Amino acid sequence: MWLIDSSIGRKVIMSVTGLFLVLFLIFHMSMNVVAIFSSETYNDICNFLGANWYALAGTMVLAAGVVLHIVFAFLLSYRNYKARPIGYSTQKNQKEVEGASQNMLVLGIIVLMGLCMHLIHFWAKMQLQEIIGATPEYEGQFTNGAELIRITFSNPYVCLAYIGWFIAIWFHLTHGIWSAFQSTGLNNKVWFPRLKMCANIFSTIIVLGFTAVVIAGYIHS
């Protein structure tokens, strides 16, 4: 299959799934920022989503996007490594490309570890509990997301872990966004600098939004 067998096809899948996940980050950050201003409104949003069929469908689509992005990230990195010519490491421009690719892989692994932490702290105590039926330990937490935010971020070490995760996300996004557009052909001298600037601005807004939620949760805990 062309999308899997060719380097361009693999990059296209990486770009499409990456941009899809970026759209989710916009929604997730916007939703979480609401908790800073109104706990009641945030809880209403959580209850509206909950374990309804559309929320579950969205979760499955999101999970599929994450899995595809991870699988093709490793596949692309492996194929690039196997395809390196002799003398590759002695060429400056190729070393820079290899370094960027390796950094993206390492950053991606850090982002994945942070995602697992986030799922344990929130998804497992909210939507999952609603799906399986809340255990006594988590009774009521999946309907009070704002309180769960305060409980989670009352621990300063957890806050630091999340902020470190957000920093990794920032670096991953700044490179990934313009790289995705570059893979789709927007790599000329006019658009390339603009895309890099937009990627930096967008990534900063996303990370600052998430960080604000963590800080607010800690302050009000």
Structure confidence by residue, pLDDT tens digits, 37-57: 999 999 999 888 877 888 888
Distances (CA, A) of 143 to 12, 122, 128, 215: 39, 12, 12, 22
- Residue 209 has a pLDDT of 97
Domains defined for the chain, CATH in brackets: 2-219 (1.20.1300)
Q: Which amino acid is at 84?
A: R
The answer for 76, left when phi > 0, alpha when psi is -120 to 50, beta otherwise, is alpha
- Residue 6 has a pLDDT of 67
Per-residue pLDDT tens over the stretch 124-169: 888 888 887 766 565 555 668 899 999 999 999 999 999 999 999 9
Distance CA 100, CA 172 (A): 10
